[in-house]
Amino acid sequence: MNVLVIGGGGREHAIIKKLSESREIGALYCAPGNGGIAQNAVCVDIKATDIHGIVDFAIENKINLVVVAPDDPLAMGMVDRLQMHGIKAFGPTKAAAEIESSKAFAKNLMRKYNIPTADYAVFEDYEAARAYIETRPAPMVVKADGLALGKGVLICETREQALEAAQSMLLESRFGKSGSRIVVEEFMTGPEVSVLAFCDGKTVVPMVSAQDHKRAFDGDRGLNTGGMGTFSPSRVYTPQLAEQCMETIFIPTVRAMQQEGRPFKGVLYFGLMLTPDGPKVLEYNARFGDPETQVVLPRLKSDLLEIFLACIDGTLDQTEVLWYDNAAVCVVMASGGYPEKYQTGYPISGLNAFAGSEDVFVYHAGTKKAEDGTLRTAGGRVLGVTAVAKNLDCAIEKAYAAVSLVSFQDAHYRRDIGVK
């Protein structure tokens, strides 16, 4: 099969590496890809949001399957357009992807179908939001309704901060159109867990659990980022909790989407908080998470291509999804200054140390190949260094040993990934 993966980050690199293990893979392409992905697939210079360009390329190159990984092309309806042209596509339709692209839609869905989540209200008018905020206990959370590169969620310690957040979104267009509607919700407490799940519209098969480190600095300090590292399995997500989440959250969500006439096919990401009142949904994503994918997929024993096709064909209930009994840790190496201002274009050294390794993988997020053939930094998050081992402690040790061999100017990474 000829397969095209859409995107150009660490998540896409992990998907491509796992797909390349399938016996059924013929040609493997990535659009736009990056410097590291180019070692595992043919990179095509088409933007991830260029739906017309992607469709044309798929037709011209006899692509049998397109894997749409990022949120923007899913929200724009890339899967719908590919299907219109008779091309198999892995990922939800535009209507189903709204579970991520509109937080208000997701919250209203949970309220309608009694799926546990934080109490909330939705506003488009600042004065109405202000009146509501002034009656609510702090801390509280203010969220832009639409996609905002993972930065549209503001945790407000005081009512004043919540009012400022609402004002910045509704009156000052801080997140543009994405913030023209906001969700104000109660602040929940407890450990966070990410569970990705394969879905074929009616069947849901959860993957192994993971935990993400969002803040920029050790001890969960600093600004929120796209993710500074992750580990799998979660230390707090027990088999009993997994069963509870399946019954109260995972199955009800997939059934709700079916009943709404928006059957969800693809990967559904459940961002969960294990509160004193039980597990609740923090957020949904309509795709593989980044960097969760970089620790979950290395643990997958089954053929990823077979699973993708089963999700599309509605045969997931007849498909074996097996996992290795091990652990994985991913440490993100970022450009100094990320998530704010940072410099790029620095050469990266030490990557050859892992050529052919079966337990250390370096996933490229923001790299490009320079004219002289060297790999250089080209983004905020540059690399995800993943190690697999028999348990978490061994995986942490192995991941940091690998990180110590890689270098580029002003490299920044957290030193406490996996310790929570």
CATH number at residue 38: 3.40.50.20
Tokens 């960097």 locate to: 291
* Calpha distance 172→302 (Å, rounded): 48
pLDDT number for residue 356: 84
Strands 411-412 and 327-335, bridge-based pairing:
antiparallel
Q: Indicate whether 114 belongs to any domain.
A: no
> Are both 156 and 210 inside the same structural domain?
no
Expressed in percent and rounded to 5, the helix, strand and coil fractions of the chain are: 30, 30, 40
> Are both 244 and 300 inside the same structural domain?
yes
Q: What is the DSSP string of 244-279?
A: HHIIIIIHHHHHHHHHTT---EEEEEEEEEEETTEE
Q: How many domains does the chain have?
A: 4
Residue at a domain's end among 148, 180, 212: 180
pLDDT number for residue 420: 74
| pTM metric for this prediction | 0.95
> Are both 162 and 251 inside the same structural domain?
no
- Could you tell me the mean pLDDT of each successive run of 10 residues in the chain, 420 residues long? 98 98 96 95 98 98 98 98 98 98 97 98 97 97 90 92 97 94 96 96 98 94 92 96 98 98 98 97 96 98 98 97 98 96 97 91 95 94 98 98 97 94
pLDDT number for residue 28: 98
The range of the structural domain enclosing residue 334 comes to 327-412
Cβ-contact 252, 114 below 8 angstroms: yes
> Are both 201 and 312 inside the same structural domain?
yes
Q: Indicate whether 362 belongs to any domain.
A: yes
* Calpha distance 13→135 (Å, rounded): 46
Question: Within 20-70, where are the H helices?
Answer: 51-60
